[in-house]
Amino acid sequence: MNEFAYRLMHASGAARSGIISTAHGPIRTPAFMPVGTAATVKGMLPDQVKAAGADIVLSNTYHLMLRPGSKRVAGQGGLHRFMGWPGPILTDSGGYQVFSLSDLRKITEAGVRFRSHVDGSYHDLTPESAMAIQHDLDATITMVLDECTEHPATHERARASMERSMRWARRCREAFVPREGYALFGIAQGGTHEDLRRASAEALIAIGFDGYAVGGLAVGEGQEDMFRTLDATVPFLPHDKPRYLMGVGRPDDIIGAVARGIDMFDCVLPTRSGRTGQGFTRRGTINIRNARHQDDSRPLDENCACPACSGFSRAYLHHLFRCGEMLGPMLLTGHNVTFYQDVMAGLRGAIGAGDLEGWSQAFLTTYRGGDIPPL
């Protein structure tokens, strides 16, 4: 079994590319993790996710503890066997999902008591139970339970929330069961307050984790504040450990974060957009439902090798969505996941060539230029 370790391969400014070795195989970084919240990347088979270029997927503690239950997953041989994905899996601790419940949860020093969105039943999630659930799931990468601070938050409010998350992080570290090739990641918090972000990073390093995430962003603060917060956080994270920006995001967000030294990303955007008719292309996003696509014989993206682009026209995809056929969201989801993986491959290649800035400028110029209507 492989030891969990990060190996730096190339650097271009603050950006880096590397390999994360895990018990379930390697992860090439920078990496984008398709989101399989309930043990499935919606609309895609595991082999299709792999063929799109993904090395790792994300599932969610909150959803799986409610349905089907972590003990049931453990009884089926763990999450890898249960969902048919033998590669690495990262499980979000559920902190963000509980945060989003707002009036349906109560946070105390012990943990969080919340009402299930499924049946209204009450549940408790503590640092210790979050570790136990993710152990049952057999997560390759386990995330600590944290309190996702709302935005905007005063300095006093953000400090209290961050310090509680650091106390929970220590409890998670103590409850986590180490295994070769498995990892526990800490999560830096502190809102958009630069001094709190540095203090959070230092507190996590003092506890000691296998990787470090930046949480509490992409919650409405805007790209400028996001990048400013990363500038105040990433330099204080260890250089020999993976760095993960949670819940981000759009291609331009990812490119800017990679330039600041982030290695890992996740977001529901490519899959959720695929289900609702939005496609990501090298010339920006399109709404395949729009009438201008109904007679367009071109592929969605002429530079994409996914099944949607290699086998079907925009006109056909438009037809599927207008008729409510399930194949439409399946094809568009597969395309979006492939597009995101192509972006990550482009970033890795550019870092390896020492030209991240040039690649990024060329990509973003085309991406922001917009889609070209048919002649």
Catalytic residues: 92, 266
The residue whose two tokens read 């192509």 is 342
The C-alpha atoms of residue 327 and residue 3 are separated, in whole angstroms, by 40
Q: Which amino acid does the sequence have at 50?
A: K
- Are 320 and 31 in contact, with CB atoms under 8 Å apart? no
Tell how far CA 5 is from the center of its chain: 19
Tokens of 225: 């504040």
Please give the C-alpha separations between residue 31 and each of 56, 129, 165, 249, in angstroms, as whole numbers.
Answer: 8, 28, 26, 12
The C-alpha atoms of residue 375 and residue 373 are separated, in whole angstroms, by 7
| Per-position b or e across 38-70, b if 16+ CB within 10 A of its CB | ebbbbbbebebbebbbbbbbbbbbbbbbbeeeb
Please give the C-alpha separations between residue 124 and each of 50, 162, 217, in angstroms, as whole numbers.
Answer: 35, 20, 25
Tell how far CA 265 is from the center of its chain: 4
**313: number of Cβ within 10 Å:** 17
Please give the C-alpha separations between residue 357 and each of 11, 250, 258, in angstroms, as whole numbers.
Answer: 12, 18, 11
The residue whose two tokens read 């002429």 is 302
Please give the C-alpha separations between residue 130 and each of 83, 91, 144, 285, 308, in angstroms, as whole numbers.
Answer: 20, 10, 7, 37, 39
